[in-house]
Homo-oligomer: A and B are copies of this chain.
């Protein structure tokens, strides 16, 4: 049997990506080192060569998922209304399954809770920025963007649960409710945002 060698960098990356996929599929608690190894196609002993413990691997995976999401946030869209509309309608399923699992784990894992809180605050700030710019561009009114951002993120989280977990919403309904809520927060004319959703 000839073994296939990879650079340490590539292999680490491969393992982390496999871990993220498996967490989304099976949940933090159910992900096994043997699972991850099988997903990549290596012996499970190899993981110990890159990560001192299972916990370290999962922490790296979560960290990576956060970084991924934050990095791909700015969709390189200039129009503030389009940016906000896209933000309201972009709820990536895989990521949300990871977040919801992290929510469930957070009360027992202070480190994860801290990371989760930091991630949330970053998204909150991003959302506040989107709201500010969209408000100015759309002729709306927004006394307290930070408060509005809190309300929008709460709504989006709740809608994501209804969409991805409870499945009591269709994607279209999700988008309609989210956009309507954002329009109401900014006192925009109904439909302003709905018409701005990028066609892509």
Contacts and interface: CB of A to CB of B under 8 A. Distances in A.
Contact of A106 (B29, B154, B157, B165): B165
A103 B161 contact: yes
Contact of A154 (B100, B117, B177): B177
A116 B154 contact: no
Contact of A100 (B104, B120, B153, B181): B104
A168 B120 contact: yes
Interface residues of A, number: 41
A112 to B, nearest CB: 10
A118 to B, nearest CB: 10
A131 to B, nearest CB: 15
Contact of A105 (B27, B113, B120): B27
Given A151-B177, A184-B184, A103 B158 contact: no
Contacts of A200: none
Contact of A117 (B104, B124, B164, B167): B167
A158 B166 contact: no
Contacts of A177: 147, 150-151, 154
A116 B181 contact: no
Interface string A82-114: 000000000000000100110111111000010
B157 A116 contact: no
B116 A166 contact: yes
A26 interface: yes
A30 interface: yes
A159 B166 contact: no
Contacts of A164: 107
Interface in A132-170: 147, 150-151, 153-159, 161-162, 164-169
A121 interface: yes
A104 B166 CA distance: 11
Given A150-B177, A167-B117, A97 B101 contact: no
Nearest to A107: B97
